[in-house]
Amino acid sequence: MVEAPGDWLERLAHKADLRARAGLRRELRPRGTGDQVIDLAGNDYLGLSRHPMVVAAAAHALADYGLGATGSRLVRGSTALHAELEAALAALLGTGATLVYSSGYLANLGAVRALVQPRTLLVSDAYNHASLIDGCKLSGAEVVVMPHGSVPEAILRDRGDRPAVVVTESVFSVDGDLAPLPALHAACRRYGALLLVDDAHAVGVLGPDGAGGVAAAGLAGEPDVVVTITLSKAFGAAGGVVAGPAELVAHLVDTGRTFIYDTGLPPPVAAGALAALELIRAGDDLRGELHERAALVGKRLGGVVGSEPAHVGYAVSQPDAGVVSVTAPGPEAAVAWAAACRARGVAVGCFRPPSTPDGRSRLRLTVNVGVPRPDFAHALDVIAECAP
């Protein structure tokens, strides 16, 4: 039977209705310049997106280079700023080389693909970010999902002579907990596998000079470790990075589809990220403040720290980095809780399935040290008072 021209739209409307009944509709909320909301939802951990030095660097580059990169990196989209940023990132992360992408999502797709050979087994943490999951799927390799936070000793030991890559985040984006990087690396080394770590939520936040979770674990520059980061979080900018040995970067430049067929990062963003990098290096005070505030979330909202439902207070995740989650009774309750906070001027993240790997709904709070201290404390009071 031939469908009428509008049938597919009816199907989509029906699906939207089902999502609405399950409490799973999503809404865009554009913010204006006069936005007064206290932000505990964004990823601007160190408050650098509006730092005067970052803004000035971006403004200069805008005047010097124009708005867009005007082409893919291999055509006209590489500027001196991109080269300078890549060198500075390699120095910060302690890797042989880095390659800047227009987003962290594309960096992850490219990194996973580059590490896959014929017969490779990918071993992926169950809570990995969608970009790593999609990278694994698009690579065409066989994927084994390991339990969250585990070390896949047996999988690596029993895989025979197949190449293997273990894929994990360092700080997980939903609960902010840490992967067991030293144990993962030891297992990879023992069984001849590579370790790919997405350091998106750790760079700027953890490690010496903010070099990230891989550096904090003492694994920077190891030849069997590849790191990805995004510039959209602690850098307050946008863009993604693959960091590793120079041979890997050369391979990506020659063959990486998400690098080659994508317009380069806009030069003003590269310049802003470069200025942010210097502030990150010198940002021990900011990191100290961030960790104090993360601990405060647990003290103020959690009666119980950990992943089990709380008897007193709420179940609050371990405040290891800048992300802390607070469990909600269900998707509708999470949406209502976040809406009540917003009505009182506090923005919090609201995570529901399918964005939560375990099906639990929660508020996700991110610490932004750009928020004045009294406002941060007030925001925690509002969250507690609005609880379901």
Ligand X SMILES: Cc1ncc(COP(=O)(O)O)c(C=O)c1O
* Interface with ligand X (CB under 6 A): 103-105, 108, 129, 131, 169, 173, 198, 200-201, 230, 232, 240
Q: Which is nearer to ligand X, 40 or 386 (CB)?
A: 40
Residue number closest to ligand X, CB atom: 104
Task: Give 78 or 173: the residue with its C-beta nearer to ligand X.
Answer: 173
Cβ proximity to ligand X, 78 vs 232, nearer residue: 232
Q: 3-state DSSP: the chain helix, strand, coil percent, rounded to 5?
A: 40, 20, 40
Closest CB to ligand X among residues 105, 376: 105
CA 100 to chain centroid:
15
Q: Using an 8 Å Cβ cutoff, are 156 and 195 in contact?
A: no
**Shortest spacing between CB 108 and ligand X, in angstroms:** 6
User: What minimum distance in Å lies between the beta carbon of 324 and ligand X?
Assistant: 15
Q: Pick between residue 179 and residue 382 the one whose CB is nearest to ligand X.
A: 179
**Phi and psi torsions of 291, nearest 5°:** -70, -35
Q: Which is nearer to ligand X, 14 or 31 (CB)?
A: 31
- The answer to whether 195 and 213 have CB atoms below 8 angstroms apart is no
- For ligand X, the closer of residues 8 and 261 by Cβ is 261
The DSSP secondary-structure symbol of 169 reads E
Least distance to ligand X from the beta carbon of 233, Å? Answer: 7
Residue 156 or 265: the one with the smaller Cβ distance to ligand X is 265
Burial of 57 (0-12, 13-18, 19+ CB in 10 A): buried
Min CB(320)–ligand X separation in Å = 14
Report the amino acid identity of residue 359.
G
The nearest distance, CB 239 to ligand X, in angstroms, is: 7
Q: How far apart are CA 226 and CA 143, in angstroms?
A: 18
Phi-psi map region of 59: left, alpha, beta (phi>0 left; psi -120 to 50 alpha): alpha
Residue 366 Cβ, how far from ligand X at the closest point, in Å?
10
Name the helix (H) or strand (E) containing 250: helix 246-255
Q: Is the sign of the CA dihedral 129, 135, 137, 141 positive or negative?
A: negative
Nearer to ligand X, 169 or 175 (CB): 169
How far is Cα 173 from Cα 170, in angstroms, rounded to an integer?
A: 9
Q: Phi and psi for 72 in degrees, rounded to 5?
A: -70, 160
The residue to which tokens 């991110």 are assigned: 366
Contact 235, 271 (CB under 8 A): no
Residue 36: count of CB within 10 angstroms of its CB: 8
Coil, helix or strand at residue 246: helix
